[in-house]
Amino acid sequence: MGTKTVSSNMKNTTDCRQSGIAWLLTVIGPGIVVAGSVMGSGELINTPVQAAKFGFVLLWVVLLSCVIKYFLQVEIGRHAMVHGRTTHQALNICPGPKYRGTSWIGIIYMGGYLVSCLTIPGMIGALAGMMHSEMPLDHWISRIGGEPVHHLENQSIAWWGGILVLLSMVLLWKGVYRHLEVLIAILVGVFSISVAIALVMIQASEYRITMNEVFSGLTFSFGDTPKLAAYAVISLMGALGATANELFMYPYWILEKGYNRHLGDRGDAAWSQRVRLWVHAIRIDSGVATGLATLMTGAFFLLGCAILHRQSRVPAGINVVETISQVYTESFGPWSRYVFLVGAFATLFSTVLVATAAAGRMFGDFLGSLGVINYRDLKMRSRVHRLTQFWLLLMVLGVFLWCGSAPVRLIVFSQFFSAVFSTPLLLFAICWMAFHTDRKARMSQLTAFFLVTTSLIIVACVVVGLVIRYAT
């Protein structure tokens, strides 16, 4: 790299420092995308479902799940940025057998990833049920097929599922979603804030939450039904915060945002200084995403405890979103139902789009690692991304039509599976990457302590949950 480029990079670094908060607002984003890919299934559905079932007793795992993966996210982002490696390229430095240069961790992980994708048909099912309840297609279907209207509820839901999948295909294939990204991000952001406001407002109602109830949820207890709660604990560990799949996806968004392009020549004397600046950006990015996820998740959980658990109403079936909407209507009043439904649609649908887009990148990277495609060929990579998204959404539609009437079961099981199968694999890989990042850019000893400690805590929670669930 020439002197002119290095000088330009150093000038950019100086300008960035002078910009302060304004600069940070321009560079954060990958973490928000990652948070957006899990908020729908985790925060909006799994969290209030478990709150309705178990009450305040599981508050500890909700908060722990949101914040504990912060150091993992920072370190996989640091490694990707410093070395300019995609996730599979980074995994290939890990020890163990390889097939065609691809690490055993990456190969096994991709197999498990397909199971964890059951969250997507689960979300399509929840969306289809919501759309059917608001705009049933019975009349139009009866005109097409000539059958009695009262037999057509399932057909209406199936049609809505097909429409949503088709819309996702078009938006992703044409790249239109990028133009809607800001609008959807605003809707999800406002929705997140409104959930926190709802939590404040119920304090003046019959559903007021006491401090004793909050403290009762911070005792690391599994409640009166430990076997059932253990399943919920593991599922929440796999559902909230930066989950295994979201951690896996984070390097793609870091590289697409161009963090690594600002580092300049590794041999330049100011290289380490620029790395520290952009690692700071990763920390802020991950921190903002973690904070938003914790705020929204904690508020949803407490609302679910205060309203759904006390009413003994556990969201289930195709009308899961309709049931969860009570956390709004009981807080703001009946008028807020449509506000909730719009926010829920934006959150769930954006999650479907982000998760599907990330799947395209993951499989493109995987095929490139195996040597099936030339990953550096941008046109070929883009084609693989689109084809992967198309075929994944076709499979999503098939699963939805087969068992989409139980969206909660699909979501909770896939997130349980992710915590048991995918998370341990990725924890090992991230820790290995972190300790093999370039020495001039490697984490401090204090960060290494927190990284290892948080990894051990996550594994301990999963292992204890499995023991309580299956061995007691």
Residue 112 has pLDDT above 80, yes or no: yes
| Tens of pLDDT, residues 285-314 | 888 888 888 888 899 899 999 999 999 999
- Domain enclosing residue 85, as ranges: 24-470
Residue 430 has pLDDT above 90, yes or no: yes
How many angstroms separate the CA atoms of 284 and 288, rounded?
Answer: 6
Q: What CATH number corresponds to the domain at position 182?
A: 1.20.1730
- Mean pLDDT highest for which of 17-26, 34-43, 176-185, 426-435? 426-435
- 159: exposed, middle or buried (Cβ count in 10 Å: 0-12, 13-18, 19+): buried
Closest to 341 in 3D by CA, of 330, 352, 329: 329
- Whole-number pLDDT of residue 12: 47
How many angstroms separate the CA atoms of 82 and 343, rounded?
Answer: 37
The verdict on residue 3 lying in a domain is no
How many angstroms separate the CA atoms of 226 and 231, rounded?
Answer: 9
pTM for the complete prediction? 0.87
Provide the mean pLDDT of the chain. 85
The verdict on residue 427 lying in a domain is yes
How many angstroms separate the CA atoms of 86 and 73, rounded?
Answer: 14
Would you place residue 468 in the very low, low, confident or very high pLDDT band (cuts 50, 70, 90)?
very high
Cα Dmax for the chain = 77
The verdict on residue 4 lying in a domain is no
Which amino acid type is present at position 330? E
CB atoms within 10 A of CB 370: 16
| Tens of pLDDT, residues 347-386 | 888 889 888 988 998 999 999 999 999 988 989 998 999 9
Per DSSP, the residues of 283-299 read HHHHHHHHHHHHHHHHH
Sign for the CA dihedral angle at 20, 33, 323, 466 comes to negative
**If you average pLDDT over residues 195-208, what whole number do you get?**
88
The verdict on residue 7 lying in a domain is no
The verdict on residue 2 lying in a domain is no
The verdict on residue 19 lying in a domain is no
The verdict on residue 120 lying in a domain is yes
- Whole-number pLDDT of residue 151: 44
**If you average pLDDT over residues 14-27, what whole number do you get?**
56
The verdict on residue 332 lying in a domain is yes
Total tally of structural domains belonging to the chain: 1
Q: In 220-259, which positions are buried (b, 16+ CB within 10 angstroms) versus exposed (e)?
A: ebbbeeeebbbbbbbbbbbbbbbbbbbbbbbbbbbbebeb
How many angstroms separate the CA atoms of 11 and 262, rounded?
Answer: 11
